């Protein structure tokens, strides 16, 4: 059974850097084709795809946020970390991580419960 869980601060100040960790079980990020992605959702708004990292360390980023995002993996710890620099109140959202299966790169078939991040001074 695949599970994912997001963790990180619930409150960050403007201009700070956000670091979120996705800890997963039930699969390995060393398996060919597998990936983990990050998605966010501002309150009452639509989903926004942020980034995805694959088993071979290939990384994809949202073009509009690419300059602010870094995604890394620690295969031995079953973790993926997303950092977002220069946080702003508009970045207030629920942040999700999700599993991307080997058979369909970029598809998100199992999601974590999400973690809420508020950006405020």
Partner 1 sequence: EIVLTQSPGTLSLSPGERATLSCRASQSVSSSYLAWYQQKPGQAPRLLIYGASSRATGIPDRFSGSGSGTDFTLTISRLEPEDFAVYYCQQYGSSPTFGQGTKVEIK
In the complex, which residues of this chain contact partner 1 (CB under 8 A)? 37, 39, 46-49, 52, 60, 62-64, 96, 104-114
What's the chain's length in residues? 121
**Cβ atoms 106, 100 nearer than 8 A:** yes
**Smaller CB distance to partner 1: residue 60 or 78?**
60
**Smaller CB distance to partner 1: residue 40 or 73?**
40
Cα gap 105→88, rounded to integer Å: 30
**CB 76 to partner 1: min, Å:** 26
Identify which of 46, 39, 59 has the alpha carbon closest to the alpha carbon of residue 113.
39
**Cβ atoms 119, 89 nearer than 8 A:** yes
**CB 121 to partner 1: min, Å:** 27
**CB 106 to partner 1: min, Å:** 3
**Smaller CB distance to partner 1: residue 19 or 60?**
60
**Smaller CB distance to partner 1: residue 81 or 112?**
112
**CB 3 to partner 1: min, Å:** 12
């Amino acid at each position: 059974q695949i599970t994912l869980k997001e963790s990180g601060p619930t409150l960050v100040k403007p201009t700070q850097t956000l670091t979120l960790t996705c800890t997963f079980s039930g699969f390995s990020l060393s398996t060919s084709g597998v990936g983990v992605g990050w998605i966010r959702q501002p309150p009452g708004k639509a989903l926004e795809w942020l980034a995805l990292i694959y088993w071979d360390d290939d990384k994809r980023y949202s073009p509009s946020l690419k300059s602010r995002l870094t995604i890394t993996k620690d295969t031995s710890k079953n973790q993926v970390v997303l950092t977002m620099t220069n946080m702003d109140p508009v970045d207030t959202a629920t942040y999700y991580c999700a599993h991307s299966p080997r058979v369909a790169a970029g598809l998100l078939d199992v999601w974590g419960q999400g973690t809420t991040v508020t950006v405020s001074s």
